[in-house]
Amino acid sequence: MVRAPPNRCQTGVRARRRREALCYPAAVRAAIVAVGSELLSTDRLDTNSLRITERLERRGVALVAKSVIGDDEPGLERELRRWLAQCELVVVTGAGNGIGRATAHAFAARGARLAICDVDRARVDAVAAELGPRCAHASQVDVGDRPAMAGFAAAVHAVGPVDVLVNNAGVGYQGGVLRASLDDWDHVLRVNLMGVIHGCHYFTPAMAQRGRGHVVNVSSVLGYYPAPGLAPYVVSKFGVLGLTLAMRPELEVKGVRATAICPGLIATGIVDSTRFASFDGKNQARAAKEFRDRGTAPEVVAAAIVGVIGTDTAVRPVARDAWFAYGVSRWMPRLIGDRLGRM
């Protein structure tokens, strides 16, 4: 019989409060409000959260994107390793590159056994080889395909019970409501939202039955910061965040936790799979360069994902632009509701 993992809930709450104190002391909150007020008074609003964050930093304000697990918190790291040592399996979707690959390696480095999938056979096989004996199962799976996800779940459950589910697979889209076709909407929602729903549907009932587990759904800074010109992607990520918050009370009484990870600009290859409504080749090149030059490393997101396991964290922004947007959504909602709504 598997012994229940140590309760990291209270430790996680303390860590989250320390992290928010670092990111949002009084001076930072005041600066967010001041910059937000300036933006509300301008004729044109720059909605790029990374550039707004840089504007804050020119005021001498730095938003700290700090992982729960760090060199200065060895106690939390030890507790996490004990928790993972009692886990049977960790499932990571979209594990072929970027955040998914980094997350699989982060869990493996802490002794976890993994079941991974990706839509690209060559990539998932390569990551499985990198993980070696830590990889218990690897499959080529399109998370938006219901029968494919059902088959993947059946194969994973045959290997062993799942204690951690990371719904990470996703695709990008650049274009607003007026440019997006219905095929574009289907493409984005099928993977980004239905893929997460499929993962939750096929894996959480067994977790609830066992009375333990943690679901991590990868949303985005655009899950609470609705930048214009990205409507299908924004809708998909708002949906993932809403799903996570809605399922938390239901799962909590069953001993299962759920967290939404909300990364900002991350240096991954998502641009390669992004559809552009007005594609001329230059859009993709510019986006790829911005992600490459200004994005946070995917290993930072992986550390955040691993760090929330066993805690009661509901929403975890990652990267400075995500922390800024999260602060705006809490302290300057008019900046989102009034100005973004009139763009």
Asked if residue 4 has pLDDT above 60, the reply is: no
**Rounded distance between C-alpha atoms, residue 126 and residue 298, angstroms:** 18
What are the backbone angles phi and psi of residue 143, rounded to the nearest 5°? Answer: -65, -20
Are 300 and 320 in contact, with CB atoms under 8 Å apart? no
Instruction: Record the pTM.
Output: 0.79
Contact 40, 339 (CB under 8 A): yes
Residues 144, 11: Cα–Cα separation, whole Å: 36
Q: HSE on the CB side for 132, CA within 13 Å?
A: 3
What's the pLDDT at 236? 97
**Which residues form the catalytic set?**
233
Q: For residue 296, what are the β-bridge partners?
A: 266
**pLDDT recorded at residue 43:** 45
* Phi, psi (rounded to 5 degrees) for 305: -60, -50
pLDDT tens digits, 30-47: 666 666 566 555 544 444
Q: What is the mean pLDDT of residues 244-255?
A: 96
The token pair that represents 221 in the structure block: 């800074």
pLDDT at 133: 96
pLDDT grade for 72, boundaries at 50, 70 and 90: very low
197 to 9, 166, 192: CA distances (angstroms):
25, 12, 9
- What pLDDT is recorded for position 332? 65
- Residue 227's pLDDT is 82
pLDDT at position 157 over 80: yes
The pLDDT assigned to 203 comes to 98
Sequence-ordered alpha helix ranges (H) in the chain? 9-23, 26-41, 49-58, 74-85, 98-109, 121-131, 146-159, 182-192, 194-210, 231-252, 282-294, 298-308, 320-331, 333-334
The CA-based diameter of the chain, rounded to the nearest angstrom, is 64
